[in-house]
Amino acid sequence: MFVDKATIEIKAGKGGNGAVAFHREKYIAAGGPDGGDGGDGGDVVLVPDANMSTLMDFRYRRKYAAGNGMDGAGKRCTGKRGEDLVIKVPLGTVVRDKETGAIMADMSSVDRFVAARGGSGGWGNARFATPTRQAPRFAKAGLPGVEREIILELKLLADVGLVGFPNVGKSTLLSVVSRARPKIADYHFTTLFPNLGVVYAGEGRSFVMADIPGIIEGASEGAGLGHDFLRHIDRCRLIVHVVDASGREGRDPVEDFDIINRELREYSPVLASRPMLVAANKCDLLDGESGERLERLERHVKEAGMPFFKISAAAHMGTEELTKAIAYRLSELPPIAVFEPEFVEPEAEVELPEPEINRENGVWYVDGGWVERLVANVNFGDYESRMYFDRILRDRGVFARLEELGVEEGDTVSVCGIGFEYRR
């Protein structure tokens, strides 16, 4: 199954906690604090893989998490860094942030992209020693890693994109000019996913051609199959518009030509402005009436300023001239488009929100916000650390908010699951 779009959740590793430890060794008095720092959390890293051609692997697994950093230890030992999680994606995948829709990276132009960074490890108590605080009994907790949802969009790396209505002969043309072997049959929507082929145009020149499933009227708004695959011609430097000149299905080739161009404009004005060659296919099946339609199509295309070619892919008629013209035109065009990143990583140290205060069954609950990080950094078995905790709550207005809401002396206050008796 060809899957070209997927949404996954990624979570970088949490930093390890700093250690509270003291140096104890024979013949060494007052060894002092020697708690080590926690290790940093692992990153989530995306790596392009040229051997992958679909996002099928992400259809059944949606959550990915890197390793957490190890806690610090005594003797100023730093915890081990969390293991990075490396995720392979197909070459040409565009990574977007789901929340903002901004492009984070184009995996056709980078070898490695860190999609989520691990949290920093917390400091051990050795870092907090000062001349006036020589035996700190608290350490700093590690920070959480970045957690986000990202969208993976596969955009094929092709120089040339074949577009046109279903059953006009795009797959046949690709099979004739390259070694690709797409499914070919005489019914609509034979091609259910894009096919790629390498075309050799002589003198060491070659290019990649993509056969895009048939586009129909309304494709830019979601009709048919083509709208799912229009993204695959976003990178194409040149578009080859294949039109059925025989009129075997009762359609007007001029009208077909205009409809497809309109769908391309409505999908992306930038895409519609790309250079285009027009190939009138199935010319071996022309009769008197269809011959007149071909002449009318040729006049219409040339009036639009586009090169026009009469071919029959099935009969190998005119295909060599078409490939030479494509190769020559590509030599004048810039390289395949690379999507520039738009995403701006939020500041790591953001201001956390104020905690929520609620009362249930006579107990006051203080939860969330910056208080959670404060609780993680406090050693409640140490008097000095508890006084620091009390001072921060008072300085940042938590006690004042509780008193405004009616807290009384002796009431039970639960701060992130840790209960206290309220004293003024």
In the sheet with 412-415, reading across from the earlier edge strand, the strands are 356-360, 363-367, 412-415, 418-421
Domain that holds residue 291: 160-331
Q: What is the pLDDT of residue 420?
A: 87
Among residues 259, 300, 303, the alpha carbon closest in space to that of 280 is found at 300
DSSP string, 195-221: EEEEEE-STT-EEEEEEPPPP-TTGGG
Q: Is residue 345 part of a domain?
A: no
Confidence of residue 317 (pLDDT cuts 50, 70, 90): very high
Q: Is residue 399 part of a domain?
A: yes
Q: What is the pLDDT of residue 174?
A: 92
Which phi and psi angles does 9 have, rounded to 5°? -105, 130
pLDDT at 148 over 90: yes
Q: Is residue 347 part of a domain?
A: no
Whether residue 165 is found in the same domain as residue 146: no
Give me the percent of the chain exceeding a pLDDT of 70.
90
Token pair, residue 243, equals 């039109």
Q: What is the pLDDT of residue 188?
A: 52
Whether residue 391 is found in the same domain as residue 272: no
Residues 221-259 as b/e (b if ≥16 CB within 10 A, e otherwise) read eeebbbbbbbbbbbbbbbbbbbbbbbbeeebebbebbeb
Q: What is the pLDDT of residue 347?
A: 61
| Residue 138 CA, distance from chain mean position | 40
Q: Is residue 350 part of a domain?
A: no
pLDDT at 224 over 50: no
- Specify the 3-state DSSP secondary structure of 52: coil
Whether residue 395 is found in the same domain as residue 273: no
Whether residue 39 is found in the same domain as residue 100: yes
Whether residue 229 is found in the same domain as residue 95: no
CATH number where 383 lies: 3.30.300.350
Q: What is the pLDDT of residue 220?
A: 47
Helix, strand, coil % (nearest 5) of the chain? 25, 25, 50
Confidence of residue 339 (pLDDT cuts 50, 70, 90): confident
Q: How far apart are CA 267 and CA 251, in angstroms?
A: 23
The arithmetic mean of pLDDT across residues 189-202, rounded, is 74
Q: What is the pLDDT of residue 219?
A: 46
The arithmetic mean of pLDDT across residues 175-179, rounded, is 89
pLDDT at 66 over 80: yes
Strand partners, 38: none
pLDDT at 85 over 70: yes
Higher confidence at residue 393 or residue 382? 393
Greatest alpha-carbon pair distance for the chain in Å reads 110
Whether residue 205 is found in the same domain as residue 327: yes
Q: Is residue 275 part of a domain?
A: yes
CATH number where 93 lies: 2.70.210.12
Q: Is residue 339 part of a domain?
A: no
Query: E strands, 232-304, where?
Result: 238-244, 276-281
pLDDT at 217 over 60: no
The arithmetic mean of pLDDT across residues 65-85, rounded, is 95
Confidence of residue 264 (pLDDT cuts 50, 70, 90): confident
pLDDT at 178 over 80: yes
Quote the mean pLDDT of the chain: 85
Among 125, 154, 183, the domain-final residue is: 154
Whether residue 132 is found in the same domain as residue 196: no
Whether residue 253 is found in the same domain as residue 311: yes
Mean pLDDT check: name the lowest of 128-132, 219-223, 346-350, 410-414: 219-223
Whether residue 6 is found in the same domain as residue 124: yes
Whether residue 311 is found in the same domain as residue 374: no
- Rounded to the nearest 5 degrees, what angle is found at the Cα of 115, between the Cα atoms of 113 and 118? 115
Q: Is residue 169 part of a domain?
A: yes
Whether residue 308 is found in the same domain as residue 407: no
pLDDT at 320 over 80: yes
Residues 6+ apart with CB under 8 A from 85: 10, 42, 43, 44, 45, 64, 65, 66, 67
Q: Flag whether the pTM goes above 0.85.
A: no
DSSP string, 394-417: HHTTHHHHHHHTT--TT-EEEETT
Strand partners, 360: 363
Q: How far apart are CA 392 and CA 374, in angstroms?
A: 9
pLDDT at 406 over 70: yes
CATH number where 300 lies: 3.40.50.300
Q: How far apart are CA 195 and CA 181, in angstroms?
A: 9
- Specify the 3-state DSSP secondary structure of 20: coil
Token pair, residue 318, equals 């005119």
Among 280, 296, 331, the domain-final residue is: 331
pLDDT at 2 over 70: no
Q: Is residue 342 part of a domain?
A: no
Whether residue 190 is found in the same domain as residue 324: yes
Among 269, 298, 331, the domain-final residue is: 331
Number of structural domains the chain divides into = 3
